[in-house]
Amino acid sequence: MIHVVEVETTTADTLTTLKVDLDALREASNSPAPHTTETIVPPPGFEWLRQPVDSALAEADTPDVLAERALRLSMAALPCRLAAFISLDQETEVLSVKSALGELGEQLVGTTYDHSEGLLAACLHTSLSAVLEATGSGPYSVSSLNQELGTNVRTAIMASVTSGREASGVLLLADPLSGKHFRATELAVANYLAMSVYCAIQKCGRT
């Protein structure tokens, strides 16, 4: 169940801004923040994702392998022009693009961003996920994202890699190949993948 805390629409099927409050999501399900993939359930219609996600992430034994597998899973579930995993280095407190796939990915790998300001930092520190559209305005808009990343995407999903209480990165997907816009269902899929990645990151840290 997803709790929508802000939705602006220009047409019946176009999301200008959609933010998901993960604390409300957790409370709505009457369960604690997920710490294992067994407690995370794919959205309706995407149940087929659970086995490949659990299998691929369980076998990832390093952060680099984990990042690449997470993006390949994301591209399989939601084909798009760009998929990137931006991680937070806990020691340097710098956000960096750990891995990126797609025609726009190569230019982003290795770039770093301030963890204290900007759209990526806001997504990380507030544990919010969002669908961004070109028609949006304000800090949660695709124009703000393009300015920060130096890209020219028309629509994007940012999903906080989080337990709901703490975050370790951001999953970014941009420009779906199946249409002009991302919708609420695809945001739910991205959140499922991001929370699964968070659990896998915690497991990697304990091994």
Digit-coded pLDDT (tens) for 9-27: 333 333 322 333 444 333 4
Say which range, 4-13, 34-43, 112-121, has the weakest mean pLDDT.
4-13
127, burial (CB in 10 Å: exposed 0-12, middle 13-18, buried 19+): buried
Cα dist from 49 to 17, 33, 44, whole Å: 26, 20, 11
70, burial (CB in 10 Å: exposed 0-12, middle 13-18, buried 19+): buried
* Distance from C-alpha of 170 to C-alpha of 90, rounded to nearest angstrom: 14
Tokens 């991001």 appear where? 194
Beta-strand pair 80-89/155-162: unpaired
Yes or no: say if 32 and 165 are a contact pair by the CB < 8 Å rule.
no
- Taking only the tens place, the pLDDT of each residue in 145-161 is 999 999 999 999 999 99
Assign 137 a pLDDT band (cuts: 50, 70, 90). low
pTM of the model as a whole? 0.78
Assign 206 a pLDDT band (cuts: 50, 70, 90). low
- Taking only the tens place, the pLDDT of each residue in 33-61 is 444 455 788 999 899 999 989 988 888 88
